[in-house]
Amino acid sequence: MRTESSEFSDAMHTREITEEKANALIEELNQRCNKANIAIRDMSQLFSVTDEPVLSLAMPCARDARAIHVEGYAEIAKILSHPFEDFVFLNKLAAICNYKTKTIEAGIVAHGLHNIMLRKRLFGLLHHETDVDGFETITIHTNQEGLPSIEISRPSRFFMLVAKQQAFRSVLSIKLKGCNITSHDDAKALLKSIAEPLFFQIDMITGNLLTLNRPAKNGANKPHSRQPTGDLTKLNYPTSKPHSGPLSLYANAKNASGFPLLQFLSYYQVLEYYYPLYTDLEVQKKIKLLLADPAFQSNSTDDISRLISIMHSSKDLSIRNERVQLETTLSNCVIPEKLDDFLNSDNSLKDFLTSSKAGGSIAPPLTFSKGSQSLISQIAQRIYSLRCRIVHTKSDASDDYSKPLLPFSKEADKLEADIAVVGFLARSVLIANNRPINWTS
């Protein structure tokens, strides 16, 4: 069924618009922009390849503005059909916010997954809600008063219109409805507080990490080989969140598919982020044990010397023995049974890591026999050995496990199994250090 607006757009595309109607559209846009203090510039001489205008609107974005281009009378008519004056952009994100309707919408991109496959991989063959046009929708509600509902679905028409380049990269968007916000910073903080832990949940279920879209850059992500492994109907409203710093390193690793050294190192940096925390934790345990000893005397020179020695050992450990810090962090964050289950879930993974010819050609192989080192200790030794080979590129190494591991080499191509392991460890450490979200504050 054809509507008056579709016929009007077709008419404008075929240049059947009258001069009177064209002038009326420009006049209305100018009036509404002036009333909302939105600067408007005519860019036709620079960009237009037809007789139709190209206009630039400086939409509010934090303490600055973000320009959007409206090209031709058809787009002018479309922008006028929306209350565009009520929307603001969120800084450094492909996201819009409307304080009047209490809504936020942001584009989504998938790391390691080409966008044309995102919907298929995300929704799979599972049954989900659909919108009026039959597009899949995920909706999550909470009973806690004051928190918005969450929707993941195709981008709205207005988002597609004002965020063209970013929307082109986002076949889905996240929408928050019922937001209790009155400022740009509050809106951005709320969006990130919900999106980051929710996307991490999705990665745990499907193996595909989503992130909030940012201003478009050249290039596209390569397809990811993993298929969905879980049911998104099990998503929960976020009640805890990882630290933003290491989560950004985790996202960087997911986005580095096809670049094994970068991907491995980014996952390793997630672990490294927590070294100071768990090094201090071990020292605190030793100090508590010393102070709890009934024989400890605060006026004893020997006892004070023992206390100072423990404190000095902390400083020496943080400076000299990074491998021990890695093992300490893993021991506090990784459940041995889950690590064992992960390694045994894929025979080819375990076979590679235990083989002296395969996995043993790039780092010390693992041993599962009785009487061997603990699995976490062996994993720490192997991961740290690979880390050193990537970071240190001196050519005069004395043994094979000390030689630099270079990009595009045959050895670098063998890192797939170790990347899977260090990715598992990174997820485990992020989860172990999740912080509760206090929605009441």
Q: What is the pLDDT of residues 89-133, one digit of tens each?
A: 999 899 999 999 999 999 998 866 665 677 676 776 444 555 555
Domain limit, last residue, from 59, 81, 103: 81
Same domain, 328 and 415: yes
Tell whether the model's pLDDT for residue 154 goes beyond 60: yes
Same domain, 51 and 110: no
Residue 296 domain flag: no
Same domain, 340 and 370: yes
Tell whether the model's pLDDT for residue 220 goes beyond 50: no
Same domain, 8 and 36: yes
Residue 419 domain flag: yes
Range with the poorest average pLDDT among 113-122, 136-145, 153-162, 364-373: 113-122
Tell whether the model's pLDDT for residue 35 goes beyond 60: yes
Same domain, 33 and 135: no
Tell whether the model's pLDDT for residue 214 goes beyond 70: yes
Burial (Cβ within 10 Å: 0-12, 13-18, ≥19) of residue 200: buried
Tell whether the model's pLDDT for residue 49 goes beyond 90: no
Q: Could you tell me whether strands 435-436 and 240-241 are parallel, antiparallel, or unpaired per DSSP bridges?
A: antiparallel
CB environment 69-97: b (16+ within 10 A), e (fewer): ebbbbbbbbbbeeeebeebbbbeebbbbb
H helices of 274-321, in order, are 275-292, 301-320
Same domain, 415 and 346: yes
Residue 262 domain flag: no
Q: Under a CB-based contact definition with an 8 Å cutoff, are residues 125 and 136 in contact?
A: no
Range with the poorest average pLDDT among 1-5, 129-133, 307-311: 1-5
Q: Match 């069924």 to its residue by tokens.
A: 1
**Three-state secondary structure call for residue 204:** helix
Same domain, 231 and 160: yes
Residue 294 domain flag: no
User: Among residues 387, 259, 261, 257, which one has the least CA distance to residue 322?
Assistant: 387
Tell whether the model's pLDDT for residue 179 goes beyond 80: yes
Residue 266 domain flag: no
Same domain, 217 and 104: yes
Residue 287 domain flag: no
Say which amino acid occupies 127.
Answer: H
Beta partners for residue 436, in sequence order:
240
Same domain, 42 and 100: no
- CA dist list (Å): 398 to 99, 323, 394, 403: 64, 20, 10, 8
Residue 297 domain flag: no
- CA dist list (Å): 300 to 221, 295, 304: 63, 10, 6
Neighbours of 293 (CB within 10 A): 11
Say which amino acid occupies 353.
Answer: L
Domain limit, last residue, from 238, 255, 284: 238
Domain limit, last residue, from 216, 238, 260: 238
Residue 306 domain flag: no
Number of structural domains found in the chain = 3
Domain span at residue 33 reads 4-81
Same domain, 107 and 231: yes
Same domain, 68 and 101: no
**Three-state secondary structure call for residue 68:** strand
Q: Between 441 and 146, whose confidence is greater?
A: 146
Say which amino acid occupies 309.
Answer: S
